[in-house]
Structure 1
């Protein structure tokens, strides 16, 4: 069927190739579960098309729409200039098989998929745009490709779908310094390294625009090049005239391509439901399949899967009684309200500046029974930041922002200078509600057990509100929901989740606060812009909750979320608020000592090298080690410099070379000084006098917590220097620090999971596990064992957990690889359960793309299906280690969740301060230290129960002292 083009027509042309690469590079890799085929680009592309169609339906709906792709093979430009695009690398290996699937996806959505051998997509877009404009139609090109800016006219404009903004003449001027009509001339002069368009050497966009401003056109400029005063520019334009003219032919889009499909065939139509759903199910895109099915029930209507009506884009389908929305819906019914996928409209958000209006919103929250909640502060740290505003969302698309602490020179809603200098002293903007009044009304709602509070990384908001005496509960956290179902295969930040699950790119923090030296704090953001940003955060969070909550049940991840992740949020928030005290004087002494020792090592290195050089310069060091001294094993990096990383230096030091050992020692001290003894002093909070680290709850696929700002988990404890840094962590007067550490927990879990009798018996009997292993392997008695023999067994015991290779073990023990290989083979022979465990985990990973801990946590290992053998080998090691490290993380989390209540019930006032892998650190009154140690050890040792009855005992060593170093 044809749809004629006329003045009333609105034509949308999608840069399909641009969509593909945005989808591929903008999202983490994704594979199809059934066969491991890569589908990340397909998933991203489909989500973008779905969003496009939803936006078009609710906006200025086009009459004609088509997706234009680049055809494979050379184009006419290669005939003009054979080196055209020669610099471009081949498409990523995982992307190539997705190209035909993406074409099929386009057709499944009912859209024309257009390409033509010998021409680029931009040429087809230029041709269709010209044809439509000549017939009076308005043309919108969905792309941010700068090459298409030459097409912009009063009838044709670009629209950047990722930044959700039009690109008109102003954007062209910002990019090229000229209007659309002169873009081609600028590009011809400036060239394009990406496409290997040569241009004029030494002339960039800015210079090109200046020259054209003087001479008008490229042809006039070249004809009058002899008039240019600057000798270099003049000679370049004269010498490279032919090259510049070729460049213009390359950058000029052909707008008269002999297209095979005509505009009249691009009339918008609805996709066939069964075709689209069949494709999405075959691709195993379950979330998007649910969104499309939900579209069939839009606006209170439902339709059977076999219904032939439209899929959430056109008219309604057969009416039926309304069904309950949200996660409480019955099996087989839509659990996701269609509004979840409606376009985000910032204009619909409300700024609350009246207490009566705030009361209206809170009344709606009480009726609704759940609310998405978010806070905005003037600092990234929840302890040091002051509350600037709060946002609420009660339904998808219905959200508000309550400003309480904005400062600036403008009036309410005024835009002002967005990136004003942070040093400027600004007064509180008028029209905002008082913080006390707002909190007095919010407190009963946020603490009401009958109202669910939903957030993204709620740990931050709990900490902020706790400083105002508000304990938020009960809660749901979308970041942790995503982590429970997707740990290891996707990221869990709100922006990434929104883009992946909703096809929407939220406003970025940098877009409202700027970056670098011009960055402002959130209290200086104009309130209208703050409303769009903050209310969108709450809105998106609520939409994500509607999608992720059902997935917990569908993918059997509810237990992990409900028992391990969600209950930990208030515990971690309290730890971050508590912080830990550091002795500034001790840090200063350490800094001075490290500096003096570094000076000595520097002099020693200069003497060993026979010349002075910069120890911090990899280039100078490499030239001395492998050039001047000709030490063995030198390898050059891609930049042509010698590799002088830690591995290379450790290898050389192990061979007895003095200078590499000196450099390793110097680097160790330099890192400790810069990372800890210097920076910890700066990290002390002025309000509390303590250091408040931030714990990342979704940092590792295994569930392990990580620590940042500052990182307190990487302080080395096996070196004297590292132990000295821990000595600077102290208790407040009258208190002691308590360190409670699981003993060899991952080896104990290996004994349990692998059902290894010898290891289990050793743990049950309380024997030295490494000595026992040495005795089993090498047939030596336990009494009087050579420490070196025990060391070998210890290296193998811990190495096995991480899937160590013969190369790795050989390096660790400084033995030949053949000997290391024999040790590993002997170990597996003596303990056959270990090999069985390894094989089982690798098989599970290949079949399911994930492995599980004994508590049901899924750790995804998508690399198991990689084509690269190195990536596969790494994924296999992950599959072996993740169930053990993950189970250890699960156990300590279970202990952390139980400990606050256990301490309170026992009448003990200890506070949990830190978690460092298998260790917990507390601060307790000295008079309660002994009782606290006993209780903490008891809770930690029983943490696996009742979920899992381990066949080996867990052992916890808890000690109290005035410093962390002495307690550990």
Structure 2
């Protein structure tokens, strides 16, 4: 350890909530929730290990919040009033987290009426007066008031130079000093409190001054030097909204300044000397890990015993190969027996000789993790910069192929000739004897096929394995955007390996200063690229054994994995769009939106920006006086779709027109304009990107461009589809599953009337109308159709009332009648919910699990939302599984029929779109229909036939 004392103060409260949201709901052998405890334990383990390697702390303590209130609540009773209570499954974990801290033989400090921030500030100031340096392990912006401060006054006797304070953000693996604070806030740390007081904080419910955001607050403090000076200057400022807000909000700003001030003179419940870090003894840590079933961590602890060159026992000796596979409780202990990531161990391969040696070793290993580095996320336009391989933990390399400056005179570093590398790698990447593993390997397949002419096989994908195991399980992944949707490499590495990967922006920069990956120096490029392959290899060894242990093998092997190369080929094929037709539609939409805009103004008697929610809300509710307006935290009225639809139902013509205006502007920007920009200049076609993990239930989703939201049964939607065209001499063929979810509901809920109707080819909505209302006409059929689909989504009486335009009691009577006529549906709903509450997940007919961690939530909205999704997930998920099976079988069936030239281009909802010569429609149609109709077999034999509707034409619209 260094001679100078260095105290690390860990903001334990932040660790707790990070751990809770980053890991699935886990239980210990006694059935107590321990997901947050496990995550907290691994994070604390990693922190201590990393700091030990870096020769970091001499002293360390964890600081926690003891309660939900502090002295600040006496100053302002609304302080933190907006914070919801902690999730009910987290509450019993709080005492266990304290136990976990003490199990590491670390001080765990908390005090009544004080927040962790105040204790941290007090300890930090006391330590710096001793001459100790202090690092605060946190990313809390409030703590940044302390950064860069060095004790100069009130030093303890004998101390000549005071210590200084910095911060460590472990999630970003970044040190935060004075310069970083200035970059973030625009002011030095000692003025951060003034900025916070002006801008307020919605999380802690610190009022600040309404309408003053971070940029304005920073600018004011920069200009006037302090909060007090800015407030004093307000009366002399130029008249403006800002001036009014500063004058009117002075009292709130001054109160906020007191609330954000860190209390740094608290009594210290534990002496600084008692925080000395003398290593982590095996006990009581071993007993704690054993009690809660954390067997993987227990093995790591045992492996590290007796290590002579380590002052702690958290870092085991590094084996050269992976240890045993994950335990049967793999979802409880995701960490396998692997050494810590060591980026210095990676090799940059710059000669053909070394590349061939790596290839020989890969053949011997029979498994290699691969990853590509490129110039873009668009696989159809990106240039290949390099390829990385991994054969084991820390046994990884990067093969640069396209590095060097963009300037023609820039010096290119030594690297393997591109074509020579392709020729050398082709036998490995195409060999049936070697499994190639990737993370989102679909992207790499497209890159290597397009750039190198290499068709990689056989394959496995850690992202898809994770999805087959844990769809919906990770709360931070629900609804998440991006490629991984909660199953991306960074998330999986943090969750299962406890390792924070290098961020792309840290390698290439951001904004105007960003550089292409091909211009990154080879040493940094190797660390980043080889780490991706290394982490992929580790994730494979962690996750793949769980498939068999947790019942995920069937859906992964029979549904998901076979689909990866199929979808990759569809993306490469793309589809042709008629640029002229799109341009014409854009002009028509622009004229139409302008017309509707004028009509809206006429209705309101004033011109305003319709696209501004604030202006629209003010006009609707203040100027025109419509009822039902509600303001959010920002102080402006909500004008979302539900609000506007409610106004329209009340007869507000303007709301109907605004909804129409919004739809047109969205379709114009999303499709008619965006599709023109998306046309690939090399192929002349649009290449959407499909995500196999984008929807919890297993449905494919598309992005760049998104083709899922084109209106299906409207004239505008038809016009947009008509712009998707076949090449000359070809046609587009659309094959659509007819009412597949209703058919599956009839089978899964065992509803005799519906099964009979489908078997006889009847109109199912007419049959439902007859059963429900005793008569069939346009109105009763329309109602029956709404009810058929709404019930499967677990709709409430109020939801159905809104859809049908009736009173809630009448809607409830319809629901009751539906369940009386079709008791199997009610039994299915009841049974499904009971199973999900018991097991935590729903299951499709093919074994796909969708997890619902909030199914027992104390929050009514969360619980009911989970219940509605749980009712539909087995049906929608089974539908998704069936169409995926059809897609995977389609091309082999067409090839067997001598139709290998037929191309499958799109999958949208329950529909497949193909391109083929017009003369082959007669031969291809029955093959396509048969494959789709028999897709569930032999795994699942349905009691109802799967109906397929097929049409064709020169464009997508005509094919319907």
TM-score tier after normalising by the smaller chain length? 0.7 to 0.9
- Residues 578 and 913 of structure 1 are in contact (CA less than 8 Å); yes or no, is this contact kept in structure 2? yes
Q: Secondary structure at the match of 2:855?
A: helix
Q: Secondary structure at the match of 1:864?
A: coil
Q: Secondary structure at the match of 1:72?
A: coil
Alpha-carbon displacement from aligned partner over 1:110-165 (angstroms, at most 9, x marks no partner)? 33212344555455556656776787876554334313425556676543322223
Residue in 2 that maps onto 1:48: 43
Range with greater deviation from structure 2 (243-252 or 811-820): 243-252
Residue 732 of structure 1 and its aligned partner are, at CA, apart by 0.8
Residue in 2 that maps onto 1:835: 826
Distance 1:346 1:840, change over 3 A: same
Give yes or no for the alignment of 1:436 onto 2:433.
no
Alpha-carbon displacement from aligned partner over 1:693-740 (angstroms, at most 9, x marks no partner)? 000110111100101100011111110110111111111112111111
Alpha-carbon displacement from aligned partner over 1:38-96 (angstroms, at most 9, x marks no partner)? 655434322211212332454427554332224437667889xx359936744642255
Q: Secondary structure at the match of 2:854?
A: helix
Range with greater deviation from structure 2 (884-893 or 794-803): 794-803
Alpha-carbon displacement from aligned partner over 1:178-205 (angstroms, at most 9, x marks no partner)? 98xxx54775797574586999x99966
Residue 871 of structure 1 and its aligned partner are, at CA, apart by 1.9
Task: Name stretches of at least 5 consecutive residues in structure 1 with no aligned partner.
Answer: 213-217, 302-308, 410-423
Residue 690 of structure 1 and its aligned partner are, at CA, apart by 0.3
Distance 1:187 1:748, change over 3 A: closer
Range with greater deviation from structure 2 (822-831 or 885-894): 822-831
Residue in 2 that maps onto 1:477: 461
Range with greater deviation from structure 2 (328-337 or 770-779): 328-337
Residue in 1 that maps onto 2:314: 313
Taking the TM superposition and a 5 Å limit, the aligned residue runs for 1:506-525 are: 506-525=501-520
- Residues 581 and 729 of structure 1 are in contact (CA less than 8 Å); yes or no, is this contact kept in structure 2? yes
- Residues 316 and 339 of structure 2 are in contact (CA less than 8 Å); yes or no, is this contact kept in structure 1? no
Alignment counterpart, residue 465 of structure 1, candidates 431, 448, 465: 448
Residue in 2 that maps onto 1:293: 299
- State the alpha-carbon separation in 2 of the partners of residues 250 and 659 from structure 1: 45
Give yes or no for the alignment of 1:353 onto 2:336.
no
- State the alpha-carbon separation in 2 of the partners of residues 835 and 756 from structure 1: 10
Range with greater deviation from structure 2 (641-650 or 444-453): 641-650
Taking the TM superposition and a 5 Å limit, the aligned residue runs for 1:409-558 are: 427=410, 429-467=412-450, 468-490=452-474, 491-558=486-553
- Residues 371 and 394 of structure 1 are in contact (CA less than 8 Å); yes or no, is this contact kept in structure 2? yes
Alignment counterpart, residue 172 of structure 2, candidates 150, 163, 169: 163
Range with greater deviation from structure 2 (42-51 or 166-175): 166-175
- Residues 148 and 166 of structure 2 are in contact (CA less than 8 Å); yes or no, is this contact kept in structure 1? no
Residue 663 of structure 1 and its aligned partner are, at CA, apart by 2.6
Alignment counterpart, residue 803 of structure 2, candidates 787, 808, 812: 812
Residue in 1 that maps onto 2:920: 928
- State the alpha-carbon separation in 1 of the partners of residues 835 and 101 from structure 2: 34
- State the alpha-carbon separation in 1 of the partners of residues 184 and 597 from structure 2: 49
Distance 1:700 1:35, change over 3 A: farther
Alpha-carbon displacement from aligned partner over 1:928-950 (angstroms, at most 9, x marks no partner)? 12211110110110010111111
Distance 1:380 1:657, change over 3 A: same
Distance 1:447 1:297, change over 3 A: farther
Q: Secondary structure at the match of 2:734?
A: strand
Residue 777 of structure 1 and its aligned partner are, at CA, apart by 2.0
Residue in 2 that maps onto 1:418: none
- Residues 326 and 335 of structure 1 are in contact (CA less than 8 Å); yes or no, is this contact kept in structure 2? no
Alpha-carbon displacement from aligned partner over 1:533-557 (angstroms, at most 9, x marks no partner)? 2122112111211211122122111
Alignment counterpart, residue 814 of structure 2, candidates 823, 828, 842: 823
Alpha-carbon displacement from aligned partner over 1:598-656 (angstroms, at most 9, x marks no partner)? 33333333344444444334444444444444445444444444443323333343444
- State the alpha-carbon separation in 2 of the partners of residues 466 and 796 from structure 1: 47
Alignment counterpart, residue 661 of structure 1, candidates 617, 635, 656: 656
Distance 1:299 1:121, change over 3 A: closer
- State the alpha-carbon separation in 1 of the partners of residues 223 and 170 from structure 2: 31
Distance 1:828 1:114, change over 3 A: same
Residue in 2 that maps onto 1:696: 691
Residue in 2 that maps onto 1:416: none
Residue 255 of structure 1 and its aligned partner are, at CA, apart by 6.6
Give yes or no for the alignment of 1:867 onto 2:876.
no
Residue in 1 that maps onto 2:13: 17
Alignment counterpart, residue 781 of structure 2, candidates 779, 783, 790: 790
- State the alpha-carbon separation in 1 of the partners of residues 14 and 265 from structure 2: 19
Range with greater deviation from structure 2 (727-736 or 327-336): 327-336
Q: Secondary structure at the match of 1:399?
A: strand
Taking the TM superposition and a 5 Å limit, the aligned residue runs for 1:126-137 are: none
Range with greater deviation from structure 2 (54-63 or 84-93): 84-93
Task: Name stretches of at least 5 consecutive residues in structure 2 with no aligned partner.
Answer: 151-161, 239-245, 475-485
Range with greater deviation from structure 2 (122-131 or 948-957): 122-131
Taking the TM superposition and a 5 Å limit, the aligned residue runs for 1:124-203 are: 124-125=119-120, 140-144=135-139, 145-150=143-148, 157-168=166-177, 170-171=179-180, 174=183, 183-184=189-190, 187=193, 193-194=200-201
Alignment counterpart, residue 566 of structure 2, candidates 553, 565, 571: 571
Range with greater deviation from structure 2 (511-520 or 484-493): 511-520
- State the alpha-carbon separation in 1 of the partners of residues 800 and 754 from structure 2: 21
Alignment counterpart, residue 397 of structure 1, candidates 390, 394, 402: 394
Give yes or no for the alignment of 1:86 onto 2:70.
no
Distance 1:825 1:926, change over 3 A: same
- State the alpha-carbon separation in 1 of the partners of residues 805 and 73 from structure 2: 56
Give yes or no for the alignment of 1:270 onto 2:280.
yes
Q: Secondary structure at the match of 1:149?
A: coil
Alignment counterpart, residue 707 of structure 1, candidates 689, 702, 705: 702
Aligned residue pairs, count: 912
Residue 800 of structure 1 and its aligned partner are, at CA, apart by 1.5
Distance 1:273 1:751, change over 3 A: farther
- State the alpha-carbon separation in 2 of the partners of residues 172 and 386 from structure 1: 37
Residue 249 of structure 1 and its aligned partner are, at CA, apart by 12
Alignment counterpart, residue 259 of structure 1, candidates 266, 269, 272: 269
- State the alpha-carbon separation in 2 of the partners of residues 332 and 645 from structure 1: 44
Distance 1:494 1:614, change over 3 A: same
Residue in 1 that maps onto 2:155: none
Q: Secondary structure at the match of 2:353?
A: helix
Residue in 1 that maps onto 2:157: none
- Residues 854 and 948 of structure 1 are in contact (CA less than 8 Å); yes or no, is this contact kept in structure 2? yes
Give yes or no for the alignment of 1:948 onto 2:932.
no
Give yes or no for the alignment of 1:103 onto 2:103.
no
Residue 453 of structure 1 and its aligned partner are, at CA, apart by 1.1
Q: Secondary structure at the match of 1:703?
A: coil
Q: CA RMSD in A?
A: 4.2
Residue in 2 that maps onto 1:417: none
